[in-house]
Amino acid sequence: MKFYQLSPEQRREKLLAAGIKLDAIDHAVLSRLDKLSENVIGQLRLPVGLVQKAIVNQQKYVVPMATEEPSVVAAANHGMSIFAKNGGVIADNKRNGIFGQIILKINKHFSLEMLKTTFPDLIKKANQQFNSLVKHGGGLKKIQAEVKQDLLYLKVLVDPAEAMGANKTNSILEYLAAELENYAGIDEKMFAILSNYPSQLTTAKIALDPASVGGLEVAQRIALLSQIAHDNPYRAVTNNKGIMNGVDAVLLATGNDYRAVEAACGVLANQDGQYRSLSKWIVADNKLCGEVTLPLAIGTVGGSISAREDVQQVYRILGKVDTKTLAEIIASVGLANNLAAILAISTSGIQAGHMKLQARNLVATLKANDEEKKQVLKLMRKAKKYSMKDAEVFLKEVRGEK
């Protein structure tokens, strides 16, 4: 039998026989995981931390974040606490849908104008075929077409309702392509697949009293850093990584496709031919004003979101949120992480706080008991020394060794 045809227990036995040590895993958990992915042999766990005071559109949320990086959760909480003192974030999601592409080879008998007259009927037929999506408020919304040389490019817009919608969109595209393959002048289908081009844009905005970030001088430095991130791609990419720290952590926690969002953000950041910051901070009318716009093609139901117990726990913490609201929360968290990072750069520097939080991970690797690790961490933070060598020296001190 091929590896994928084996049960997860049999796959584990093969690895054990090859001398690979595996962590123990509950049989029921392994069985559930095997239904979610391919060639499953175990699990990789991430801690879930909380943003405790997120105020978005005047509503309070507790937001779960899945990340092994303590500074990401700390930064989100810090940024959101500053936002809360200033009334919270105002956010808006334009959930227009997911783009799909169909590319077909054509010949000299093809007429684009004639094809366009069939689009209303095609949309109607597709929505009848996929009426379950229509019943949930979604469906095929628009078809656009253009010809380049001997290729027909169709851009299709699908509203996925409350789901991420990738699978449903691809099914609709395949259906449309099959309907068109026998149309006069069309020779063959090249492909029919969704595009991760930026769509479903979400904007989060905040206006801060400069006193809440340390005064007008600090606010002006934040604005200057933002301008540098707009003009300089070396700074822009790091600025955007700070935004995505928060965004990806919430996407992971809520079972969403962070890879698709990352890819779309990369395109959005490069809209005018130069890679730029996704966020903007300015000082205007004695306020520090920040905003970020992100493409968030996400969902709150369907697929692995509904199948995973750990993800369902996250939604119980979040409360009842629809996809639009979740996108607005995610963009707000991204803006909070962005503020916390550039505020640190503008004042004390980012490394000291980062290393202080990372010390916990470093101490976890020591060959010591829990009480010794606790004392070592306390000594490291007191001395503000955070290297592995420092940890080992403090461990000897705790043990009374020379």
Which of 194, 221, 245 represents a domain boundary (last residue)?
194
Identify whether residues 227 and 129 lie together within a single domain. Answer: no
Which of 194, 229, 249 represents a domain boundary (last residue)?
194
- Residue 385 neighbours by CB distance under 10 Å: 15
Strand partners, 61: 54
Q: What is the pLDDT of residues 156-196, one digit of tens each?
A: 999 998 888 889 999 999 999 999 988 999 999 999 999 99
| Region label for 175, one of left (φ > 0), alpha (ψ between -120 and 50) or beta (otherwise) | alpha
> Is residue 129 one of the residues assigned to a domain?
yes
Identify whether residues 57 and 16 lie together within a single domain. Answer: no
Share of the chain above pLDDT 70, in %: 97
First to last CA, the chain: 58
Domain containing residue 183: CATH number: 3.30.70.420
> Is residue 39 one of the residues assigned to a domain?
no
SS3 362: helix
Domain containing residue 323: CATH number: 3.90.770.10
Identify whether residues 53 and 164 lie together within a single domain. Answer: no
Identify whether residues 81 and 120 lie together within a single domain. Answer: no
The residues annotated with a catalytic role in the active site are 69, 241, 257, 354
C-alpha span between 205 and 242 (Å, rounded): 17
Q: The pTM is what?
A: 0.85
Q: Report, as an integer, the average pLDDT of 73-90.
A: 98
Identify whether residues 19 and 134 lie together within a single domain. Answer: no
Has residue 83 got a pLDDT over 60? yes
- Cα three-residue angle 192-196-201, rounded to 5 degrees: 135
Question: Is 95 in contact with 323 (CB distance < 8 Å)?
Answer: yes
Kindly report the average pLDDT of the chain as a whole number: 92
> Is residue 40 one of the residues assigned to a domain?
no
pLDDT given for residue 363 in this prediction: 79
Range of the domain at 166: 98-194
Has residue 384 got a pLDDT over 70? yes
Identify whether residues 189 and 86 lie together within a single domain. Answer: no
Identify whether residues 86 and 221 lie together within a single domain. Answer: yes
Question: Is 225 in contact with 277 (CB distance < 8 Å)?
Answer: no
> Is residue 43 one of the residues assigned to a domain?
no
> Is residue 42 one of the residues assigned to a domain?
no
Q: Report, as an integer, the average pLDDT of 290-298.
A: 97
Identify whether residues 305 and 204 lie together within a single domain. Answer: yes
Which of 169, 194, 219 represents a domain boundary (last residue)?
194
Q: What is the pLDDT of residues 224-235, one digit of tens each?
A: 999 999 999 999
Q: Report, as an integer, the average pLDDT of 281-307.
A: 93
Task: Categorize the per-residue pLDDT at 353 as very low, low, confident or very high, splitting at 50, 70 and 90.
Answer: low
Q: Report, as an integer, the average pLDDT of 213-218.
A: 95
Identify whether residues 134 and 226 lie together within a single domain. Answer: no
> Is residue 41 one of the residues assigned to a domain?
no
Identify whether residues 7 and 107 lie together within a single domain. Answer: no
Identify whether residues 228 and 279 lie together within a single domain. Answer: yes
Task: Categorize the per-residue pLDDT at 347 as very low, low, confident or very high, splitting at 50, 70 and 90.
Answer: confident
> Is residue 250 one of the residues assigned to a domain?
yes
> Is residue 180 one of the residues assigned to a domain?
yes
Q: What is the pLDDT of residues 247-290, one digit of tens each?
A: 999 999 999 999 999 999 999 999 999 999 999 999 999 999 99
Identify whether residues 240 and 295 lie together within a single domain. Answer: yes
* Number of separate domains in the chain: 4
Q: What is the pLDDT of residues 102-148, one digit of tens each?
A: 999 999 999 999 999 999 999 999 999 999 999 989 999 999 999 99
H-run or E-run covering 175: helix 166-180
